[in-house]
Amino acid sequence: MTMKKIILSLLVLASLSSAAQELQKFYSDAMAAYRAKDYPKFYDNIKEANKLHPYHQGILYQLGTAAALTNHPKEAFENLKRAILIDASFKLEGVADFNSIKDTKEFKGLLTMQKEWQTPVIRSDAAFTIKDRSLHTEGIEYDPEHKTFFLGSIHKRKIIKVFPDGTTTDFCPSAFKGMASIFGIKADVKRNVLWACASPMEEMENYDSTARSAVFKFELNTGKLIDKYDVPLTMKGSVFGDLIMNKDGQVFVSDGKFNTIVTVNPKTNKLEPFYSSPDFWNLQGMAFSPDEKFLFIADYVKGVFRLNMKSKELIEVTSTVSVSLKGIDGLYFYNNSLVAIQNGVNPLRSTQYFLNKDLSQVTKFEIIDRSHPNFNEPTLGVIDGSTLYYIANSQWGGYDKNHNIKPDDQLQDIVILKAPLH
């Protein structure tokens, strides 16, 4: 089970409580009815489950199946399409449950679409590799002035610096000042600052369940710690997703446990809540529009939101094309588009989503990579000029059931991919 799925499982159990139990009951009753060939009951119960969780691909697939079995063809096509756009591995062809619709042009179109989404697309090349297989990197940043990369380690609780010749050195030592697993990193070259956000994970060395998430502020050129900002006690147990910075040097961090964006308040010099919404399910990557009027926020379960930074108006970004905006980890803005690294979909992919003029809707898209041979849960990236660099294989699955990291021969060299953007 990947880290994102673990977070999602905890989120559902913790935040929905009785609703989660109700969801489980509807789903269990639906599948029991399916096995008993009581298809009307199957349809009624899975429809109720879908009302409680309208974003889950498994429920969407079962609702499409139930609709096909109960003479609701339009509903069947709609839900099967949504399911396939999230997970193209669902079985369609040769399934007896779809006999009533298999000869329609709509179903044949679904099969064609499924095959297209299953087809690999490879546009990236390896930029460089890291031989330390147990590093387990999540975040990456680039300093264009010194032409160096920074990588954050989940397991070893540190940041490393990668020089142009490929050699590496520790930017800060492991568990420095209580530093936990590193997620987002951002370099402020103008102010000679490197920011990093960290959260305690069971996969880190010397795991401490009492540790708190924190934001660290370093001197970029020396690695000297300038300040450390602990998450408020009211948000103990938070799990940071990513960190971004505006033009004034103020940082914002997404938290996937409390679904809150926090910021280092420049007036109080403390880490404080900035924005939250009941519409959020699991926050991950973020990206500013060029004028910083909007903040785009990836919700791992639902898709992408757009927040007006001044009015705090929140809308969900829609799409006129057949895509799923679910499962986005890293999110970046480039040339009127959102660049997304999606590890919560199948096949895994990175995608460039082009937006309309008012930045509220996806109007077309281009796959950067899909089913890349180096993929093993790609995570975060960084854009330099017109080139995207991103971590191809974070290897969240590189641990045993007790969260101990596996031997090197069961892990991989860390691969950083690079791809041109349009």
The secondary structure of 406-419 as a DSSP string is: PPGGGS--EEEEEE
Residues 177 and 57 in one domain: no
What DSSP assignment string belongs to 360-379? -EEEEEEEEEES-TT-SS--
- CATH number for the domain that contains residue 154: 2.120.10.30
Residues 256 and 321 in one domain: yes
pLDDT tens digit sequence for 16-41: 567 889 999 999 999 999 999 999 99
Percent of the chain with pLDDT over 70: 96
**What is the reported pLDDT for 127?**
98
Give the predicted TM-score (pTM) of the model.
0.94
Query: Tokens for 217?
Result: 């502020």
Nearest one of 91, 93, 38 to 66, comparing CA atoms: 38
Rounded CA gap, 16 and 42, in Å? 23
Residues 360 and 306 in one domain: yes
- Mean pLDDT along residues 129-158: 97
Last residue in a domain, options 71, 92, 118: 118
177 and 300 in a common domain:
yes
DSSP state, 87?
B
Residue 339 Cα to chain centre, angstroms: 12
Looking up tokens 């399916």, which residue turns up? 34
130 and 169 housed in the same domain: yes
* Mean local confidence (pLDDT), 244-257: 98
Q: How far is CA 208 from CA 32, 58, 86, in A?
A: 42, 35, 35
Q: Is the pLDDT of residue 129 over 70?
A: yes
Q: Are 147 and 398 in contact (CB under 8 A)?
A: no
Total domains in the fold of the chain: 2
**Angle at which helices 18-35 and 39-52 cross, to 10°:** 160
The closest alpha carbon to 334, from 318, 309, 351, belongs to 351
Average pLDDT over residues 106-133: 98
* Full residue range of the structural domain in which residue 372 is found: 121-420
